[in-house]
Amino acid sequence: MAALAINDTADGRRTLALTGRLDATTLPGLWDAARRAAADAPRRPLVIDAAGVEYCDGAGAALFVDLLRQPREGKVEVANLHPTYAALLKQFDPAVLVHDLDPEPPRRPAIEELGYAAFGVWRDIRTQVQFIGETFAALVFAVRYPRSVRWKDVWRICEQVGADALPIVALISFLLGMILAFQSAVPMKRFGAEIFVADLIGLSMLRELGPLMTAILLAGRSGAAFAAEIGTMRVNQEVDALTTMGLSPVRFLVTPRIIAAVLMTPLLVLFSDLVGMVGGAVTMQSFSIPIVTFLKEIDSAVTLTDFLAGFVKSFVFAVLVAGIGCLRGLQTKAGASAVGDAATRAVVSGIILLVVVDGLFAVAYYLLDI
Amino acid sequence: MTLPPGSSNESEPLGGTVRGTEGSQASVPPPADNVIIRVEGVDAGYEDVVILENINFEVRRGEVFGILGGSGGGKSTLMKHMIGLNPPLAGNIYIDGDNIVTADEAMLEKIQRRFGVMYQSGALFGSMTLLENVRLPLEVYTDLPDEAIDLVARMKLELVGLEAFTGHMPAELSGGMQKRAGIARAMALDPSILFLDEPSSGLDPITAASLDATIRRLSQNLDVTFVIVTHDLGSVFVAMDRVILLDRRAKGIIAEGDPRRLRDETADPRVRAFFRREQETVVS
């Protein structure tokens, strides 16, 4: 336990007598009282009598420093402190601890913040354009000199991007097909048109939902993984090591990932299309539409153009997701939180880009009458 | 003590003075049981890999104790067992009389609050400023007023020479500075034992010497026990009272005692090679 006694002497001094153990467990009740006692008599000389202090650790020393650093007109001194603890106290300079030596920078005015934000967006666009150029050059180089590609890495990444993603793609696509079938079959049944659910599922899965859902899953899974992996390499200075060894990080890290994504995404899209239609077919069984009838209807409704319209997108989506994941990874700053930021930015900007590009495809197909 | 500029009137300095008790000695009486850590028959390693076998030693209260050895010799693995991060493959480790190996979760937490740990990289939380890093244990484990917590944290940072970097994020600092901040955080609650993993690696010689002096001062003045894993022979001879030297081939301790005496008096070529930095070192 610790205690404080306040005594005003005849010669005009105020004495704060501290006794007992001064540590983090005993000080909470004492701290404010000691400060108040010192502040109540700002003109009197203040003596902090430590004769009764049995133990004093860093928190105890902080109380002494706090009393010594307070601005007051009267003189202040610590008396009778055991030399052990006096030596501890002498390590700290109250003058240094009066002011915050590293204060937070003042907030910029709103208009300045807006300017900085706009500049940040402009810089990001410029970086992306630069990155697209570098990546394109690296891919051209890879086509011209296939031996320069680290194929061992490509197959490893193919497994991560493709085979490992099969269960989640299967689950989402199957459920998507089922939900689509249920949601559309009920109103269509009123008109006796439930057979056309097959047309709807076939067209929407092949042209739109198969490629888009697969790409979104890829952005959440592989895009984030690319950003985190390359980001960690950046934090650990592995990317710097590549650069100083004369190896281009884009050629060494980005090219294998983009090749793997371009090889795997179309296959995943095919798989997603198929499983989505199976999900729809299973649901339509409960509406008395046999699987054979369902498949025949799809066959009559869907053309090769519809299939290719979706399939072509998968290549573009693959480049976007892998590219943005790698770019965010390479942009990682220092620290563990920066890796998390990079992964988050990879997913967010990946999904935004996917939706925007998908919209552009829709407009282009409309104009081309595809 | 010097005064804060502009914070007082000119005739009356506000920094104050400290007067000690006359004639008293700067010593804290040793407790009855002088052993604070006891390692008994410990096999150190992970999964089925045994790095060290049947390790036995004691650390006395208030001493600066070094765990030395070559790279891959099991120093950090042994320390991880001592702080309860990984259980040893066999044996017992007593911290202030309590066995950390057999302790349940609640007991383990209680034991772990008695010591602070500084990890090799500093292990600061990247999303917090240095001040927030040091404040964290004080906020969690004490009821001190907010201003007091702030002051204690800033004093700990002043102790390691980082008082001007309180608002910096760890990523903005050099590796050595992060390490010093890690020491400040380990000391936040004034634990009776401090485990330091390679504290002086990456520090400039002046900062390393200042850190050695701080360790000695805390050990002598506050009876803090230090267990330090290190390679730095400069620190070993200046700061440490006793050391053990681990050897990977022997899978155990090959020397124990005062490092200066071990350097000057040992007949074991492996120990001599280590302490005299001889090229044909046998210690691995």
Please write the tens of the pLDDT for every residue from A159-201.
Answer: 999 999 999 999 999 999 999 999 999 898 888 888 999 999 9
Interface test with B, best of A48, A90, A98 (most B CBs within 10 A): A98
B11: nearest CA partner in chain A:
A73
Q: Would you call B144 and A24 a contact, using CB atoms and an 8 Å cutoff?
A: yes
How does residue B47 score in pLDDT terms, banded at 50, 70 and 90?
Answer: confident
The confidence score (pLDDT) of residue A210 equals 95
pLDDT tens profile B56-94: 999 999 999 999 998 888 998 999 999 998 899 999 999
pLDDT value for B283: 47
Q: What's the confidence (pLDDT) of residue B265?
A: 87
| Residues above pLDDT 70, as percent of chain B | 86
The pLDDT tens digits for B104-129 are 988 988 898 889 999 888 888 888 89
Tell me the C-alpha distance between B223 and B31, whole Å.
10
- Do B19 and A77 lie within an 8 Å CB cutoff? yes
Q: Is A209 on the interface with B (CB under 8 A)?
A: no
Instruction: Determine the 3-state secondary structure of B109 from DSSP.
Output: helix
Say which residue the tokens 């390693």 belong to.
B45
Distance between CA atoms of A176 and A283, rounded to whole angstroms? 11
State the pLDDT at residue B211.
80
Nearest by CB to A31, from B12, B145, B166: name it: B145
Residue B25 pLDDT exceeds 50:
no
**Contact residues, chain A, for B5 at CB < 8 Å:** 95
Which helix (DSSP H) or strand (DSSP E) does residue B69 occupy? Answer: strand B64-69
Q: Which of A13, A92, A237, A333 to mutate to test the interface with B (most CBs of B within 10 A)?
A: A92
User: Does position B4 have pLDDT exceeding 70, yes or no?
Assistant: no
Q: Under an 8 A CB cutoff, do B168 and A102 touch? A: yes
CA distance B61 to A203: 77
Name which residue leads in pLDDT, B7 or A3. Answer: A3
Distance of CA A224 to the CA centre of its chain: 8
ipTM over 0.85: no
Q: What is the pLDDT of residues A99-146, one digit of tens each?
A: 778 888 888 899 999 999 999 999 989 998 999 999 999 999 999 999
> Which residues does A304 contact at the CB level (< 8 Å), separation at least 6?
none
The model's pLDDT over A196-206, given as tens digits with 9 standing for 90+, comes to: 999 999 999 99
Q: Between A181 and B11, whose confidence is greater?
A: A181
CB B127 within 8 A of CB A62: no
The pair of structure tokens assigned to B190 is 């004034």
pTM above 0.90, yes or no: no
Structure tokens at A343: 């992964």
Q: Per the CB < 8 Å rule, is B1 touching A94?
A: yes
The per-residue DSSP string of A37-72 comes to: HHHH-TTS-EEEEEEEEEEE-HHHHHHHHHHHHS--
Q: Work out the pLDDT band at A303, boundaries 50, 70, 90.
A: very high
- Reduce the secondary structure of B148-199 to three states and give it as a string: HHHHHHHHHHHHCCCHHHCCCCHHHCCHHHHHHHHHHHHCCCCCCEEEEECC
Banded pLDDT at B17 (limits 50, 70, 90) = low
Confidence at residue B27, expressed as pLDDT on a 0 to 100 scale? 37
Q: Do B12 and A103 touch (CB under 8 A)?
A: no
What gap in Å lies between CA A173 and CA A161, rounded to an integer? Answer: 17
pLDDT at B272: 87
B268 pLDDT more than 70 = yes
pLDDT category of residue B13 using cuts at 50, 70 and 90: very low
Give the per-residue pLDDT at B126: 83
